Structure 1
């Protein structure tokens, strides 16, 4: 049974076509992966099907009485509530029923026999519904989901107003899963999860009985949970049966077949044009030439898809540091309270170090403390005097200025052509370069920020979850750039397949934390 139908949807922003005559259907229990390069329109498509955006043309229809849950890249929370309060909102209708039942019990103290009989019947019905829905074990269910996604380490009594952007996203994701909607819509859910929590979410989605639509650039994760793939490219939406590997194989086969058909047709066109040119002027063969021209005019010309600009990342090395780049003595990380035992760390020139550990234990805090952005609870950090740092932050607000302006603000001496050239090298088109940052996708914004880093002369590269929004081509390009960089690297990433073969050491915060993991 089809629970969602998208028919002939077309949408664009200005002159930019995002979707062209797109059709989509979601069947009961299907696990759909929505894939495509950065900026192809995945988030736009999700906004259209959830009603946040009206398409220019076409129709979106859901089956009746459907429940949906949508986690997008810009979901927000209101401060003043604890994490537990927010998670309990997933069961607001049950708590309402409980209040209704308690009100009935109060009425029983002063009512007629007839009213009592009716109240007892109503209370029994509500009691049965609550028991059947698992109302009396909700707290243990909340604890299970919270621990699975790493909220237990943060503490369920924390005010959501105190949380980082990544932690807030985890709260929203946990609430969404607790709601158990008939259709789950997830946009990059693994961005702020570490390896353990990604494994928990993977198992959850593999066993999820209802349908979901998932956007993710984490290919191993995507591959393990989907059974249908929809691919967006050049505003065209195409359906493939199977997981991501199946899609890749079929896509490459179709691409090769199209290229072969294109080459064959081009040879035929060249042959026809040559015949027409040689014979149209001769009386004896002019009719044959006209016949060939008619065939040429009626021919449906095969067009190859335009090649996407692939990013090329390369970091500019500054003069070399001394042997010891960073040294800490009895360093204790934290804000109001310690997150770690005293750390005595040594980062040497040329080392490439990945930092791993459960979320909330201070990976980003460690980076900020080492760079002097965040003061430690106690202890010292000493940097080589010749350190030139390039720092990619995990969270960064996008402004209303353009990508072009963003680079010019930092490098006012560059010419227009130089700025455009630098951004184009990162895989951004003229359209992206002239667009406001707030309308670009997460991946396009990340490429602008990486472009700024590439223009710096650095000998210490610090990257905090740089792959969160990047597509496959951009990840591969960044991986090569980090591997080729001659300086020192500190890297936080939840994707071992990104860093495992390019780093020389791994620092595991789980071994240093004072919190219970």
Structure 2
């Protein structure tokens, strides 16, 4: 049974085509991964099927009585509320029913017998719905799901205005799961989740009886929760049955077949054109030449299979620093209250360190304190000699109106326009990306621009906070290779062991430093 039918949808922005004549069906119980390179139109597709965007052509039809829950990269929380208050909004309809039930009981006191009987029937129906929906155990349901996704560590009474972007995403995801819609639409839900919480979400989705559509670049996660793949490439949408590994196998076979068919046709066209050129002037063979010309005109010419720009990352290195790049003494980090006990540690030259652990315990805060972006609560951080670092921050400003070109050129004004464009193209960005504002780029495209700024700098120390969030698999692989080949020191925050295991020398767990109960 189909719960969603998308027929012949076409959409673009200005002269740029995003989707062309795309059709899609979501069947009951299907667990779908929507995959593709950064900027191919995955989020645009979700915005079209949820009605946030109107397609230029085509139709979108949901089956009746379907409730759709959508977590996108730009969802908002209700300002001036706590986490708990936001989560209770997931049950607004049930609270309204409770009010209706209380009103019925009040009105029974002044109603006649017939009215009372009707009110009793209505009250019984509402009571059944409230009981079956678990209305009277809402707070325990909130605690269960919130703790599963790590909100208990933050504190459910914390105002949402004080949350980081990652923490806000967790609240939105928790609220969505509490609503328990018929269909889930999830745009990169594992970004900002650590290993424990990804495992919790994996178990939840594996046991989810209804259908969902997931956008993700986390391949192990896709393999664990999805049984259907839809691949967005060159404005088209192609369906594959199976997990990501099966998709890759079939995709490569199809791509090789297309290449062979294209090359075969090109040879055939070459032979026909050669025959025509040699024989059209001779009277005796002109008929055969004309016949070949007609054959050529009727031929359905195949396009060469197009490859998207592939990123190339290589970090520039400078002279070696002193033996210890960072020396922390009795360092306590935090904002209004301490997040850690006093820390004493050193970052030694040529070490490649992964900083891991449950979110909300201070990994990003530790990096910012080490770099002097925020002050420590107490203690000190001392840099060694000749330290030249590049810092990749987890989030970019949502309102960055600079173009990608200006973002890089502003930091490296000595480069020419052509040189900046060339460097951005090496990071896998198209001409259109380069002239677009940072705030309208996809998460992956935005990350590639910010990586480009670091790649242009000569350095011996890389400090990277969740650099793989939003990056497509090809870009992740290229970044892993670049970090493996980098001769300097690395301090990396990541929740993806399969990304960093090939090059790290040490793993530091923030849970060993924290004052919080984990």
Smaller-chain TM-score bracket? over 0.9
Looking at structure 2, the residues matched to 417 and 302 of structure 1 have their Cα atoms a distance apart, in angstroms, of 33
Secondary structure of the equivalent of 1:345? Answer: strand
Determine whether 1:180 maps to 2:204. no
The structural deviation recorded for 1:116 is: 4.5
The reply to whether residue 274 of structure 1 matches residue 274 of structure 2 is yes
Measured in 1, the distance between the counterparts of 2:133 and 2:435 equals: 52
Shift of 1:104: 3.2
- Per-residue deviation, 1:79: 2.2
1:59-458 paired onto structure 2 within 5 Å? 59-108=59-108, 112=112, 115-398=115-398, 399-458=400-459
CA distance in 1, matches of 2:6, 2:370: 50
User: CA separation in 2, counterparts of 1:279 and 1:112?
Assistant: 103
Of residues 260-269 and 122-131 in structure 1, the stretch that sits farther from structure 2 once superposed is 122-131
Aligned to 1:21: 21
Shift of 1:123: 2.9
Provide the C-alpha distance between the structure 1 equivalents of 2:34 and 2:177, rounded to a whole number of angstroms: 19
> Measured at CA, do residues 277 and 121 of structure 1 come closer, stay the same or move farther in structure 2, by a change above 3 Å?
closer
- Alpha-carbon deviation of 1:112? 4.9
Once structures 1 and 2 are overlaid, which stretch shifts more, 341-350 or 381-390?
381-390
Q: Could you give the per-residue CA deviations for residues 463-512 of structure 1, whole angstroms, max 9, x where no partner exists?
A: 00001011111111111111111211110011111111111000001122
Cα displacement string for residues 171-200 of structure 1 (whole angstroms, at most 9, x for unaligned residues): 000110111111110111000100000011
Identify unmatched segments of 5+ residues in structure 2.
none
Residues in 2 aligned to 1:91 and 1:27: alpha-carbon distance in whole angstroms: 27
* Secondary structure at the counterpart of residue 410 of structure 1: coil
Give me the whole-angstrom Cα distance separating, in 2, the residues matched to 1:121 and 1:49: 38
Give the whole-Å Cα distance in 2 for the aligned partners of 1:78 and 1:96.
Answer: 19
Instruction: Provide the rounded CA distance (Å) in 2 between the counterparts of 1:13 and 1:230.
Output: 22
Contact 1:202/1:221, CA 8 A, preserved across alignment:
yes
Report deviation, 1:103: 2.9
Q: TM-score, normalised by structure 2?
A: 0.97
Question: What is the CA RMSD across the aligned residues, in angstroms?
Answer: 1.4
Moved more, 3-12 or 283-292: 283-292
1:115, CA displacement in angstroms?
4.8
Determine if contact 1:462/1:490 at 8 Å carries over to the other structure: yes
1:109 offset after TM fit, Å? 5.1
Deviation at 1:113, TM superposition (A): 5.1
SS at match of 1:221: helix
Structure 1 length-normalised TM: 0.97
Cα distance in structure 2, aligned partners of 1:68 and 1:172:
14
Q: Quote how far apart the aligned CAs of 1:132 are.
A: 1.3
Specify the SS of the correspondent of 2:344: coil
For the Cα contact (< 8 Å) 2:78–2:86, is it kept in 1?
no
Separation in structure 1 between the aligned mates of residue 117 and residue 232 of structure 2, nearest angstrom: 60
Q: Who is 1:512 aligned against? A: 513
Give distance in 1, aligned partners of 2:121 and 2:428: 66
Q: What is the rounded CA distance, in whole Å, between the counterparts of 2:491 and 2:60 in structure 1?
A: 46
Residues of 1 paired with 2:110 and 2:2: CA distance? Answer: 51
Q: How many residues align?
A: 517
Indicate yes or no: 2:35 matched with 1:45.
no
2:259 touches 2:305 (CA, 8 Å); kept in 1? no
Contact 1:446 1:469 in 2 (8 A): yes
Deviations 1:126-181 (A, max 9, x none): 22221111111221111111111111111111111111111011000011011111
Deviation at residue 281 of structure 1 after TM alignment: 2.1
1:501 equivalent to 2:502? Answer yes
Q: How far is 1:119 from its partner? A: 4.0
For the residues of structure 1 that align with 2:508 and 2:136, how far apart are their CA atoms?
Answer: 42
Do residues 491 (structure 1) and 489 (structure 2) align? Answer: no
Contact 1:234 1:305 in 2 (8 A): no
Check conservation: 1:318, 1:458, Cα contact below 8 A: yes
SS of 1:344's partner is strand
Greater shift in the superposed pair: 368-377 or 160-169: 368-377
Note closer, same or farther for the CA distance 1:113–1:272 as it changes in structure 2 (3 Å cut).
closer
- The 8 Å contact of residues 334 and 340 in structure 1, kept in 2 or not, is answered as yes
Q: How far 1:117 moved relative to its partner? A: 4.3
